[in-house]
Structure 1
Amino acid sequence: MKKIILLCVLFFGMQAVQSQDLKWHTDVKEAISIGNKENKPLMMFFTGSDWCGWCIRLQKEVLLTPEFAKWAAENVILVELDYPRRTPQTAEIKKQNGELQQAFGIQGFPTIHFANGSDKEGKVNFEGLGNTGYVAGGPVAWLAVANEILKKK
C-alpha cells in the first residue's frame, strides 16, 4: 500500500512540475522569434489576471492542467497579454498590450487568438488562425476547440 501511495505522489508531483515548466512570454517579438524557429503558432492569451472571473476560471480549469501543459509544449508558443487593475506593469508592456488589444479588436476577456507572427524591420505582422475564449468542459473540451483552430496552420 505504501508503494502505491508513493507512486501516486511521484506521478502527480511530476505532473505538477511539468505544468510549471510552461513558459508564458510577455514580449511578443521574442515569442514570434521563438515561434518561427520552432515552426509553432502563437497562442495569445488576452486576460485580466487579477480581476476577470472568467479568466481566472479558464486558468484553473484548463491552462494550469497537465493535459494543457503537454499539449501546449507540443503545439504552441504561449503569450500572456495581461490587462491587470492592481498588478504593476512596465510602460513597455502596457504599450505593447494596448496596441495588440486594438489590433486584434479585443472587447472582452478572456480571449485567445492563435496566430503566426513575423517581425520584419521592426514591424510586427500576424496571420490569424482563429480565436476562442472560455469553453465549458475542462481541458478536453477546450483542447478540441484549439485543435480545430490549429488545423488551419
Structure 2
Amino acid sequence: MKNRFMMVVLTMMILFFGVGTHAVLADEIHWMKFDEGLLRAKSEHKKIFVNFHAEWCGFCTKMNKETFTNPALIAYMNQNFIPIKVDSDRESALAQRFRVQGLPTSWFLTDKGEQIASQPGFVAADNLLHMMQYISTDSYKATSYKDFLKKK
C-alpha cells in the first residue's frame, strides 16, 4: 500500500514538472550549434533554419527582440525546423562558406544541409513565418514565393 502511494506521488510529480518544463521551453526557440543541428536535422528529417548574427549588430538585436519572440513563429519554427544560430565573428569560416556579406542573414537548408535559399537583413515575424511555410511545405520546388503569397 505504501509503495503504491509513493508510485502515485512520484507519477504526479513527474507529470507536473514535466508539463511545466515543456511549457517553458515552448516560449522560446530551441537554438542549436551548427554541427549539432545538422546531426539532428538528418535524424529527424527536418529542414534547417540558420540565423547568422553578431553581438554588435543592431538589426540582429532587433530581430532577436521582435521576430524571434513571436509566439506563432516560435511554435512553427520549433515544430518544423531545426533552428541554428551562428555568431559570424566567432565562426567566420562558416559565415564565409555561406557567403554572408551582411547581418543578419538567414539561410534555409535541407535536412542534409544543402542550401535552399537565403534572406539577408532584418525580417519581421509575419514575413519570416510565411517564408518558413513556403520552405517547410516544399512549395519552393513548384511555385514562386510571390505566387505562394497570393494563395495565402
Same fold (TM over 0.5): yes
- The answer to whether structure 1 residue 113 and structure 2 residue 99 are counterparts is no
Residue 101 and residue 17 in structure 1: after superposition, are their counterparts in 2 closer, same or farther (change >3 A)?
Answer: closer
Tell me the distance in 1 between the aligned counterparts of 2:35 and 2:118: 20
Contact 1:131/1:149, CA 8 A, preserved across alignment: no
Structure 1 runs not aligned, ≥5 long: 1-13, 85-93, 119-125
- Superposition RMSD in Å: 2.2
Aligned position for 2:94: 100
- Kindly state the Cα deviation for residue 117 of structure 1 after the two structures are TM-superposed: 5.3
- Kindly state the Cα deviation for residue 17 of structure 1 after the two structures are TM-superposed: 5.1
Give every structure 1 segment of 4 or more consecutive aligned residues whose post-TM-superposition deviation is greater than 4 Å: 14-17
What is the number of equivalent residue pairs in this alignment? 117
Following superposition of structure 1 onto structure 2, how do residues 45-64 of structure 1 map, counting pairs within 5 Å? 45-48=51-54, 50-64=55-69
Deviation track 1:54-85 (CA, whole Å, cap 9, x = no partner) reads 1111111111221111011111101110135x
- The answer to whether structure 1 residue 33 and structure 2 residue 39 are counterparts is yes
Higher helix share: 2
Structure 2 counterpart SS, 1:19: coil
- Kindly state the Cα deviation for residue 142 of structure 1 after the two structures are TM-superposed: 2.1
User: TM-score by structure 1 length?
Assistant: 0.67
Higher strand share: 1
Identical pairs, percent: 25
User: TM-score by structure 2 length?
Assistant: 0.67
- Kindly state the Cα deviation for residue 108 of structure 1 after the two structures are TM-superposed: 0.2
